[in-house]
Amino acid sequence: MLTVESLAKSYESTAGSPRRSLARRLGGRGSGAQEDPAAPQARVFAVDGIDFEVHDGELFTLLGPSGCGKTTTLRSVAGLERPTAGRVRLGERVLFDADKGVNLRANRRGFGMVFQSYAIWPHMSVFKNVSFPLDVMPRIKRPDRREIEERVQQALEVIELGGYASRPATKLSGGQQQRLALARALVTRPELMLLDEPLSNLDAKLRESMRFELKRLQRELSLTAVYVTHDQSEALVMSNRIAVMNEGRIEQIGKPREIYTRPATRFVAEFIGTSNFIEADVLEVQGNDVVVETSQGRLVAANCPRKPAPGEKVLLSIRPESVDVSEKPHTDGTNTWSGKVRNRAFLGDAIDHITEVGDLKVRSRSNPSVSLAPGTEVHLAIAPEKVALVPVD
Ligand SMILES: Nc1ncnc2c1ncn2[C@@H]1O[C@H](COP(=O)(O)OP(=O)(O)OP(=O)(O)O)[C@@H](O)[C@H]1O
Ligand SMILES: [Mg+2]
């Protein structure tokens, strides 16, 4: 539905910019920018040549740390930012094309938006804030009064403000106002919704419940959305697919499970969840299985989507919950190690142990009933399909 190709956005850099690493020399990536040859590092790429497609009915998330270019990407799609290079299409409709000089105005793109700095209409009630986008629709498109009321009520229920319809919008807390902005975007059921951290101002508990509600509504109404967040668990819960961004580029696009279990780069593995990283050399490839040599002996990685060559150096990414720790030896000898517990940390719903295996420190996560004191001799086992290979940076 939405296609973004080679999108780049650069800004004039100011001296001492903390993002100097993004400064590109003349002729570097993100081409298309009119650079000044006298000042080869004068521009900083907030978005540095990214491509992605959002399918019909999909919630597609841009996930990445602060400053990686998520908002800039979203604003470029919305038409609020003029990209330096690239193309943006909605189906066959060209919204932006840097080469052809096409740049459709934001209000002609017809998207529903919630931005990081949301705005509510202070002189209107909660109900009116939400119904307004419907009230101002041209007569032939406008739903009848009853439907408007139903839709507004439904949107207010989703954001858990069902009982607040008649309250003046200014008499809401910051988090409530943010939810109101979200309801206002939901109510028009636009072709595409652009949501920039729409739950960021809410407390942990409300955020959690709204993730599910928002996801349910999006699925029920088959809404298509580009969702921006820096919160990995939010992205995992809500998304059909996730694009992980780092310094203006996309490192990986995939379903939540793929991103989590098969991170394509070290950055992705580190940004999402916790991982053990272990250096290894590839010994042999047997079908989809890869046998590697670590400092503590051989391990097998099963179902690898990428086939490395024998002799290649790789990084193994192993999630703590994929490491089974036990005082008894494991019966199946594949991917087993012995070591000594060095540390343990109680996390409430889980317990982590750090076990020393030769020169490696391996973190495992278990049910809190498995509590092993530091110094205990233990056995570790890692299921081969839980070992992901990541290219060495
Ligand atoms: N108008 C501007 N002028 C100069 N630099 C800018 C401008 N807007 C954004 N940037 C820079 O571009 C980079 C990307 O910013 P962006 O707002 O897209 O990040 P983000 O991923 O949305 O971060 P956050 O999670 O903190 O909202 C940042 O380094 C930012 O400082
Ligand atoms: Mg942002």
Q: What is the pLDDT of residue 25?
A: 38
Q: What is the DSSP letter of 308?
A: P
CA distance 74 to 51: 13
Long-range contacts of the stretch 248-256 (C-beta < 8 A, 24+): 248/22, 248/30, 248/45, 248/46, 248/47, 248/48, 248/50, 248/68, 248/69, 249/48, 249/49, 249/50, 250/50, 250/51, 250/52, 253/52
Residue type, 310: P
* Mutational pocket test of ligand 1: of 10, 71, 76, 226, the residue with most ligand atoms within 8 Å of the beta carbon: 71
CB 292 within 8 A of CB 392: no
pLDDT at residue 327, as a whole number: 95
> Mutate which of 24, 70, 116 to test ligand 1's pocket (most atoms within 8 Å of Cβ)?
70
Give the residue ranges of the chain where pLDDT is below 50. 17-37, 39
CA distances from 317 to 73, 286, 323, 343 (A): 29, 20, 11, 21
Ligand 1: list residues with CB < 6 Å.
11, 19, 46, 64, 66-72, 116, 230
Q: Are strands 241-246 and 360-366 parallel, antiparallel or unpaired?
A: unpaired
Residue 117 structure tokens: 């700095």
The pTM of the full predicted model, rounded to 2 decimals, is 0.83
**55 vs 312: CA distance, rounded Å:** 36
> Pseudo-torsion of CA 324, 329, 332, 333, nearest 10°?
100
